[in-house]
Amino acid sequence: MTTSRKRVLSGMQPSGLLHLGNLLGALDNWKALQEQYECYFFVADWHALSTNYADTSRIREFVRELLIDWLAAGIDPKRSTVFIQSHVPEHAILHLLFSMIIPISWLERNPTYKEKQEEIKERDLSTYGFLGYPVLQAADILLYKPDYVPVGKDQLPHLELTRELARRFNSLYKPVFPEPMEHLTRFPKVLGTDGRKMSKSYGNTINLSDPEPVVRQKLKTMVTDPARVRRHDPGNPDVCPVFDFHKIFSPPPVIDQVNRECRTAAIGCIDCKKLVADRIVERMAPIWEARRTLIDRPNQLDEIVQDGSRRAADVAHQTLEEVKEAMKI
């Protein structure tokens, strides 16, 4: 690890199994960033409590599965610091200190606060932890003083709140925190099998841990152009979620073929889905192989986490010392 490169930080909640949306929207981006930047990637297990506090039975399992998926997708612990949030207590301490200075109105205007409550109606999210999770998120970020934070467009309000909190702290005490910039993901939205955004909450995911038969079966049931009822009806690829997958996974000649033949009914939805299924399986095959190797070596995973958490704690401790000196506590 070098300190001359610019720094990147990002994390994920272990709230379920990772899927193609996570691979395309985050992990592929992270994999590319570690070639150029000093990267810190953390498992946000405390954040998982904000929506899963009533049932924590699978969080440890999801933490482990998430780490396996990261490494299988190409996150290299020799080039990136991979760690678990709860293994670095400075995250909680800085969250507490930030919670003393952030106005409640800043949290109440968070656009995803009410959106999530509507999306996850079966759970009681009227908790301090859920309202205040952007404060913990800001602590997660600012603790490592990153230059860039990889995010999708839907996360930009959260990052702006982090910058506002950094400015507030710096003006109240003394300059400690730089304001991190966004690094937008290439695929901010990947559709699921039902045509909505791929999400664990919707149950429409193709998981990285799904075996090949499951992946193919899920793709067989994926929604297509709703106006194309019969095989000989011409379709419109512009409104078909399967064609969106082609644009991501298929080579240009296949994309052109599907685009042309769908509109003239020269290809049916079953054949169209098989073409893209072959490409997705080809893309996922190395991940499946790497997952099997990691599952067979549990001690290796533990060593990676311990080493990464130790390296992260060194940086976090230094930042927290600067914070305490600035606040005179």
Contact present, 8 and 26 (Cβ < 8 Å): no
Question: Are 215 and 259 found together in one domain?
Answer: yes
* Active centre residues (catalytic): 116, 197, 200
**Distance in angstroms (rounded) separating the CA atoms of residues 126 and 328:** 34
pLDDT tens-digit profile, the chain (329 residues): 445 799 999 999 998 999 999 999 999 999 999 999 999 999 999 999 998 899 999 999 999 999 999 999 999 999 999 999 999 999 999 999 999 999 999 998 887 777 776 667 778 888 999 999 999 999 999 999 999 999 888 788 889 999 999 999 999 999 999 999 999 887 768 999 999 999 988 899 999 999 999 999 999 999 999 999 899 999 999 999 999 999 999 999 999 999 999 999 999 999 999 999 999 999 999 999 999 999 999 999 999 999 999 999 999 999 999 999 999 99
**Distance in angstroms (rounded) separating the CA atoms of residues 272 and 328:** 65
pLDDT of residue 168: 98
Residue 226: inside a domain: yes
pLDDT of residue 3: 54
In the chain, the N- to C-terminal Cα span, in Å, equals 32
Total count of domains within the chain: 2
pLDDT of residue 42: 98
pLDDT of residue 270: 95
Tokens of 321: 């010392």
Burial 149-163 (b: 16+ CB within 10 A, else e): bbbbeebeebbebbb
Question: Are 226 and 313 found together in one domain?
Answer: no
Residue 268: inside a domain: yes
**Distance in angstroms (rounded) separating the CA atoms of residues 290 and 23:** 15
At how many degrees (to 10) do helices 59-72 and 298-327 cross?
100
**Distance in angstroms (rounded) separating the CA atoms of residues 2 and 163:** 25
pLDDT of residue 187: 73
Assign residue 101 the CATH number of its domain. Answer: 3.40.50.620
Contact present, 224 and 239 (Cβ < 8 Å): no
**Domain coverage including residue 95:** 7-191+298-327
Residue 176: inside a domain: yes
Closest C-alpha among 127, 121, 118 to residue 53: 127
pLDDT of residue 1: 45
Question: Are 30 and 111 found together in one domain?
Answer: yes
Closest C-alpha among 85, 78, 80 to residue 29: 80
User: Where does 73-178 have alpha helices with state H?
Assistant: 90-99, 104-108, 111-119, 128-131, 133-142, 156-172
Question: Are 27 and 105 found together in one domain?
Answer: yes
DSSP state, residue 24: I
**Distance in angstroms (rounded) separating the CA atoms of residues 138 and 270:** 46
Question: Are 36 and 95 found together in one domain?
Answer: yes
Assign residue 279 the CATH number of its domain. Answer: 1.10.240.10
Question: Are 154 and 228 found together in one domain?
Answer: no
**Distance in angstroms (rounded) separating the CA atoms of residues 329 and 320:** 11
Contacts of 287 (CB under 8 A, 6+ apart): 23, 69, 72, 73, 208
Bridge partners, 207 (sequence order): 19
Question: Are 46 and 116 found together in one domain?
Answer: yes
Question: Are 106 and 141 found together in one domain?
Answer: yes
Strand ranges inside the chain, DSSP E: 7-12, 38-43, 80-84, 148-151, 181-184
**Distance in angstroms (rounded) separating the CA atoms of residues 290 and 19:** 16
Question: Are 259 and 312 found together in one domain?
Answer: no
